[in-house]
Structure 1
Amino acid sequence: MDKLVTRRRAIGIFAAVGGLPLLLSETAAGAVTSAYVWSGEALGAPAKLILNDHDAKRAKRLIGSIVVEVARLERIFSLYRDDSSLVELNRVGGLAAPPPELLALIGRCSTYFEATGGLFDPTVQPVWKLYRDHFASPGVGEDGPDASVLNAHLRRVGFDAVRFGSGRIAFARPQMALTLNGVAQGFITDRVVEILRDAGITSSLVDMGEARAIGAQSDGNPWRVGLAAYEDNSDPDMVLPIVNLAVATSSQTGFSFDEAGRFGHILHPRMGVVPRLYRRVSVVAKDAASADALSTAFNLMDVNAIRDTLDKFPDVSVDLVDVSGIGQRLGRTL
């Protein structure tokens, strides 16, 4: 069974409907392999799971458990649920006894923040909200928020002002807020992989907004993940074969605040919106959270800075296309 998944979240080329259809494919040896496919949503984005297993009861039980677990993690990480732990943290500026998953992910964010010189910074949420509210208002200027207003919001940004440790998370500055949209989908993908591996699954492709493979396909061939600059592209500009690896792609074209597309959603934590350097940045790593976070930060770096950062991540590689359409591969051999 030869599945092609197209870029970050572009698994949405598949219908995002619930259910558990059973697909059959012939392996090279002629044996029938059962591939269980679930489609749904994770953190508001289309999600998909392809699970190769000869045990139908186990496959269905596992997928049911995964649906429950993803829903539980959404109640922690979502910005769009009033009852989520993240929304409560942003509302009151601190949490006592936060969920362990939230503490764990914030710890991971600290690692990425330090490794990228502060360019991966989840505290950009106040600036993101400023751009959203500005362009949602009628009759606003096409050049974005006033510089003085933007600077006031930028002063609320800085992950070094997030205090976290055993049993607490707190903001050291007023009016701070976190977004985990640049890493939570990868974190959830990794959690699903952990569940499947603990159950003995050796062949699966998991995409909860970012893609990660367990083993190879049932016929022994690598999984194939397509990369494209636009989320709805069904014709990728690059196809990567992966086995036991994760892939994440970030692109400023994925969302723009304005209709003209000048103001992309990947924000510089010290400047706000900056000129686009790339059509897309795709990262291959051993885990989806790292691929997710680094693909976001690398959109804000020139090629030399990306190379310097990759020195800290020897198992990570990058496939990017700049704004002129020229592609490059950096890091270890893909």
Structure 2
Amino acid sequence: MRKSAKKNIIYSILLLLVVFMVYLYRQSKDSPEQPKQDDPKMVISGPTMGTTYRIVYLDEGRRDFKEEIDALLAEINQALSTYIPESEISRFNRVDSLIFDSPHFFPVLEKSKAIYETTNGAFDPTVGPLVNAWGFGPEGATFKDSAGVQQILRQVGFDQLVFDQKSIRKTNTDVYLDLSAIAKGYGVDKLAEYLSNKGVQNYLVEVGGELVSKGVNDKGELWKVGISRPDEEGLANELFSILALDNKGMATSGNYRNFYIKDSVKYSHTISPYTGYPVEHSLLSATVVAEDCMTADAFATAFMVLGIEKAKEIYASTDGLEVFLIYNNDRGQMQSFVSEGLIPYITAVDKE
């Protein structure tokens, strides 16, 4: 099972890269390795948060912000990564309370609480122990019986955390906090904020498939991004639709690549914080567009917990969201739901 868990971690990373794959149209015929000296298009990239980042921006001065971007990402990781033993969040997970020493922890907690409440607990950053126990963590599965599920389920519940702008504490010592379902979105927002503060007016920021756009590309068009076709055996470059992203944040979540089958039963990596079990519904992927990427990131995760009908209900009652949901109907045929505000920006991809 340990090998299966490691395999699923790889699938999880691939999911972020594939489901949310950026489909950038080439802005000119010049080789990106040999740009013209007066070409304002800049591209920087690198590893971060267990995945990669890529930023495309237009700057007449051709300023290279890679060093500053890498430093900012390292700072965010040091606050929010559970893979860094001495990060701020890792230290909190070993104790009952913590006084914040970075500016990054509180805003992510604040947004998490808002979306936890809006989604009636579907988005819950304390569900990590269940995710690990079902075999999607580094140690493989530790149980499959209902007694074990119920025992760990008592550790789950974002309402067992109390915090303000200065500190955070647990009302249940066993609570484990994992902000990975929202941290990349936060990172994207901070990178976008950095570029805006530097006077950059046109950019597309991507971290692990989470995105923020501003302005236009060097053809004067809205930035184009792709939504992958949610097939278990789909190719990495097979797209379902292309979206023109108009000064918004975007994130996609899906179950169709990160799963395993045991005793003829398929187990998804999305675990319900209500039941403690992997979700079983027809929703294949959820793309959310919002004012910021952190919001889109968290809602996309919540919608994969809720399923197609409840996701549509939350969308309809929440201001500032647009959604693109791909699901199977009763006959197993792939269908999609596009919110009205996204229709002018979506282009279907002909499979032929």
**TM-score in same-fold range (> 0.5):** yes
Structure 2 residue corresponding to 1:252, chosen from 251, 255, 259: 255
Q: For 1:299, what is the secondary structure of its paired residue?
A: helix
Structure 1 unmatched ranges of 5 or more:
1-5, 15-20, 26-30
Kindly tell me: are residues 198 and 175 of structure 1, through their superposed partners in 2, closer, same or farther at Cα, counting changes over 3 Å? same
Deviations 1:7-62 (A, max 9, x none): 84337789xxxxxx65648xxxxx96332211212211121111211212xx21x2
1:104-139 Cα offsets, whole Å, 9 max, x none, are 11011000001001100001012122223899559x
SS, match of residue 123 in structure 1: coil
Equivalent residue number for residue 224 of structure 2: 224
User: Using the alignment, how far apart are the partners of 1:232 and 1:169 within structure 2?
Assistant: 43
Cα contact 2:326–2:337 (8 A) shared by 1: yes
1:114 is the counterpart of 2:117: yes
Change (3 A) 1:326 1:159: same
**What secondary structure is seen at the aligned counterpart in 2 of 1:333?**
helix
Q: Distance in 2 between matches of 1:43 and 1:201?
A: 24
Task: Tell me the equivalent position of 2:9.
Answer: none
Q: What is the CA-CA distance between 1:74 and the residue it aligns to? A: 0.5
1:310 aligns with 2:315: yes
Residue 34 of structure 1 is aligned with which of 22, 32, 40? 40
Sort the Cα spacing of 1:42 and 1:155 in 2 relative to 1 into closer, same or farther, 3 A.
same
Say if 1:7 and 1:283 are closer, same or farther in 2 by CA, change over 3 A. farther
Structure-2 residue corresponding to 1:333: 342
User: For residue 270 of structure 1, what is the aligned residue in structure 2?
Assistant: 274
Q: What SS does the aligned partner of 1:33 have?
A: coil
Name the residue aligned to 2:106. Answer: 103
Give the distance between the partners of 1:315 and 1:165, measured in 2 at CA: 25
What SS class does the counterpart of residue 177 from structure 1 fall into?
Answer: coil
User: Counterpart of 2:247 in 1: which secondary structure?
Assistant: coil
Relative distance call for 1:257 and 1:94 in structure 2 (3 A) is farther
Range with greater deviation from structure 2 (174-183 or 228-237):
228-237
Displacement, 1:278? 1.7
Q: Please, which moves more after superposition, 318-327 or 65-74?
A: 318-327
Letter in 1 for 2:268: G
2:315 and 2:321 in contact (8 A); partners too: yes
CA deviations on 1:167-220 (whole Å, 9 max, x unpaired) are 211111121101111100000000000000111101111001201111111221
Amino acid at match of 2:294: A
* Shift in Å, 1:157: 0.6
- TM-score, normalised to structure 1's length? 0.85
For 1:257 and 1:76, the matched residues in 2 are separated by 31
Matched with 2:88 is 85
**Distance change (3 Å), C-alpha of 1:23 and 1:91:** farther
Kindly report which structure 2 residues correspond to 1:183-262, keeping only aligned pairs within 5 A, or say none: 183-209=182-208, 210-228=210-228, 229=230, 233-256=236-259, 262=266
Shift of 1:145: 1.6
Contact 2:54–2:207 at 8 Å: present in 1 too? Answer: yes
Alpha-carbon distance in structure 2 between the residues aligned to 1:129 and 1:201: 41
Equivalent residue, structure 1, for 2:292 = 287
Q: Tell me the secondary structure at the aligned position of residue 244 of structure 2.
A: strand
Report if aligned partners of 2:323, 2:342 keep a CA contact under 8 Å in 1. Answer: no
Output the CA distance in 2 between the equivalents of 1:247 and 1:134: 26
Alpha carbons of structure 1 residues 312 and 133: separation in structure 2 relative to 1, 3 Å = closer
The alpha-carbon distance between structure 1 residues 134 and 303, as it changes in their structure 2 partners (threshold 3 A), is closer
**How many aligned positions are there?**
311
Asked if structure 1 preserves the Cα contact closer than 8 Å seen for 2:21 and 2:227, the reply is: no
Alignment of 1:68-83 (within 5 A): 68-83=71-86
Partner of 1:128: 131
Query: Over residues 139-177 of structure 1, what are the superposed CA-to-partner deviations in whole Å (9 max), with x where a residue is unaligned?
Result: x8xxx6211011100011111111101321111112110
Cα separation, 2, equivalents of 1:23 and 1:222: 24
Provide the secondary structure at the position in 2 that maps to 1:332: helix
Inter-CA distance 308–98: structure 2 relative to 1 (3 Å threshold): farther
* Pair 1:289–1:232, CA change in 2 (3 A): farther
